[in-house]
Structure 1
Amino acid sequence: MMRRSLTATPGPARLRISLAAQQNGCASGATEVTSARAAIATAQAGLTAAAAADTAARTRYLAATQAVAGARKTMLRVQRQRPYRSARVAHAKSAVAIVTKTMITRRAQSGKATAALTAARTGLSIATTRLAGATSRWKTTCAAVKVTQQKLTGTAPTAELTARAAAISRDVVTQVRATFTTADATTVYGITVHRSVAFAFQRMIDDAKADGIVLSGGGFRTRQRQIELRKINGCPDISTAPASSCRVPTAIPGRSLHEIGLAVDITSGGKTLTAKSAGFAWLKAHADEYGFANLPSEPWHWSITGS
């Protein structure tokens, strides 16, 4: 957000404070939505299990009631037989008592299963309501971020801010390059970048996707990989030849912002961006909102300095 954070007036300062809070809220909202979606999945699994248990319990209860009916029918038949046989009647009565006891147990089990199913349905309903609320709050907060960013865009002298932002970006590069280790890098959707730009980069990818533009690419690479690319791209001299002398422009090892995770070669749909691609058009219109600028000679190359 570096290019949108410079201003000398109180109004924009307040806007920046609001923007920071909104961005935090947007990030927290995303976490809340993810949690709510997980709760939905858990509740749905619980409902599926409860429904299966209820069906099984009902089936067992039905079988038990049928067994009772059969036992009673047998008992009546034995009681009517002549000559009357006390032992057979006693045995039939015992059978009725046993299956009746089983039926009572099955009825209780079925009742519990039905109650559990009702609770599972209620749980899913609550989880669904929570997800709807979390999603609504998240979208509202993230929409507020865009509104505040748009307000900030028009609150300061553009030329002055651009110059100051560029100067700060160069200072950041100098400071990062002096102390950079791979521990300073993190991964955003499979793209390794410096952690200082990770949040802004992730928001840029997310917002582009929301507009129908799917972006990917390659960020950090080691100095050794930069040397290999210089060889592959036919640079006249690995250490001294300017990037423009290579078949594909490739920075001198030690100067590439890729080596400190502050540049990304962006692709869309698995293809390198061109000046006529939809991905480039979107980035040209929006990338500076997230602190990224393009190297004019390379439509795919975006960094915090545009170099």
Structure 2
Amino acid sequence: MPSRRFAAAVTLTLATAAPILAVPTAAQAAVPEAARNYSTLMYRSLTADATMAKLRATLAEQKKTVTVRDTEVAAATRNDAAVQRRLSAVTVAHQDARDRLAAAEQALNEAKGDLSVVTKQRPRKKAALDLAQKAVVSATTSRDIRRKKLHDAAALLTAARTNAKTAAAELTTALTAHGAATTATEQTRRRIATAATAASLAAQASTISKTVVDQVRPTFAITDTTAVYGVTVHRNVAFAFKRMVDDAAAAGVQISGGGFRTRQRQIELRTINGCPDVWTAPASSCRVPTAIPGRSLHEIGLAVDISSGGKTISRKTKAFTWLRANAAKYGYVNLPSEAWHWSITGG
């Protein structure tokens, strides 16, 4: 919590600095578990609407896919039924051809037997011999025709069996694809039905904010910070802070400010702001309320003194009005005694 002169000076410096964008991702550094969880919750909260829109778009496409798969299954089912009918007919025809060949072979054997009898007759009867020989020739021709028809029927049966296997495989493939599409659709429906809202995720983050402070402070290092549009903050709040600045700008509100500061700078501010004692006097005893060194959230990058248009904001400014209505969505809470001071706990 700086003096007004210091806050204004910091604000002016930051406002004129070249913006450095933090990468908008969830927790990146090997930081305490609570900080990682907080970062993840805020990331999910601030992307919840986009995530839901993506899920709904995915569901719409999946429904289209299911419709296509329905059509494919219906077509494969019809084809399989037609192929099975064809296989049944060809199987009957093949058996009929076998039976006819067997009958033709039997007739040929009988004709040959008759010829043998006639040939052995004495005296031979030419007319009977000619008739028996013609019968053998005729039976042989009939047998050969039946053999050809059986060969053709066997080829048709082989083709029909192959087609039946192909049709069955295609039906299985269609059913499998349909099942996968249906399962994916149901999974997306469940994700939509059980998806947490942005507000509930932000509320969860808020409940662990004090734990975040308690865990971050003992292990904090400057390398845990990053710059967002010239404002240095802890990297686990960088995504949320950037979104807040961007969304404010989209609403016509420019916000910047002073974020992280060192322990040494906090000590200097205690002196500048007229605290009776640097290390023990309460913040309220200072001319401008200033936290005891080691207790300020600025020292771990979890607080920002907000400025707008190069000036520290007050409760009468447009920026404060916007923040009061929206900052909680980004995990920032105002310290009631200082309109410009916003942190993840309000402290």
TM-score (norm 2): 0.44
Larger of the two Rg values belongs to structure: 2
Residue 258 of structure 1: CA displacement? 0.2
Kindly indicate whether residue 318 of structure 2 is the aligned counterpart of residue 284 of structure 1.
no
Q: Which residue pairs with 1:226 in the alignment?
A: 266
Unaligned runs of 5+ in 1: 7-14, 26-148
CA drift at 1:233: 0.2
Task: Pick one of 277, 291, 305 that aligns with 1:251.
Answer: 291
Structure 1 165/203 Cα, relative in aligned 2: closer, same or farther at 3 Å? closer
Aligned pairs for 1:181-220 within 5 A: 181-220=221-260
Of 22, 26, 48, the residue aligned with 1:19 is 48
Partner Cα separation in structure 1 for residue 49 and residue 276 of structure 2: 47
Q: Letter of the aligned partner of 1:284 in structure 2?
A: R
Distance 1:285 1:190, change over 3 A: same
Determine if contact 1:4/1:291 at 8 Å carries over to the other structure: no
Residue 344 of structure 2 is matched in structure 1 by 304
After superposition, the Cα gap between the structure-2 partners of 1:244 and 1:207, relative to the gap in structure 1 and judged at 3 Å, is same
The offset of 1:22, in angstroms, is: 3.6
Q: Could you list the per-position Cα deviations for residues 95-121 of structure 1 after superposition, in whole angstroms to 9, with x for gaps in the alignment?
A: xxxxxxxxxxxxxxxxxxxxxxxxxxx
Matched residue pairs, number?
169
- Aligned mates of 1:277, 1:18 — CA distance in 2: 28
- SS state of the match for residue 294, structure 2? coil
CA RMSD across the alignment: 3.1
Corresponding letter in the other structure for 1:271: K
Q: 1:299: Cα distance to partner?
A: 0.5
Task: Indicate the residue corresponding to 1:35 in structure 2.
Answer: none
Alignment of 1:116-131 (within 5 A): none
Please say if residues 244 and 327 of structure 2, whose CA atoms lie closer than 8 Å, have aligned partners that are also in contact: yes
CA 1:167–1:151 in 2, change beyond 3 Å: closer, same or farther?
Answer: closer
Alignment of structure 1 residues 93-242 onto 2, 5 Å: 152-153=198-199, 165-242=205-282
Summarize the Cα distance change of 1:251–1:18 in structure 2 as closer, same or farther, 3 Å threshold: closer
Q: Confirm or deny that 1:268 pairs with 2:308.
A: yes
Q: Which residue in 2 is equivalent to 1:47?
A: none
Which amino acid letter does the alignment assign opposite residue 185 of structure 1?
T
Give the CA deviation at 1:193: 0.2
Equivalent position amino acid for 1:294 in 2: N
TM-score by length of 1: 0.50
Gaps of at least 5 residues in structure 2 are: 1-25, 27-37, 55-194
Residues 288 and 249 of structure 1: CA distance in aligned 2, closer, same or farther (over 3 Å): same
CA-CA distance at 1:150 after TM superposition: 11
In structure 2, distance between residues paired with 1:4 and 1:190: 23
How much has 1:152 moved relative to structure 2?
Answer: 3.6
Distance 1:17-1:209 versus aligned 2 partners, 3 A rule: closer
Greater relative CO, 1 or 2 (CA 8 Å, sep 6+): 2
Structure 2 residue matching 1:287: 3-state secondary structure: helix
* 1-structure distance, mates of 2:45, 2:256: 28
Residues 293 and 214 (structure 1), Cα distance of their counterparts in 2 relative to 1, 3 Å cut? same
Matching residue's letter, 1:297: S
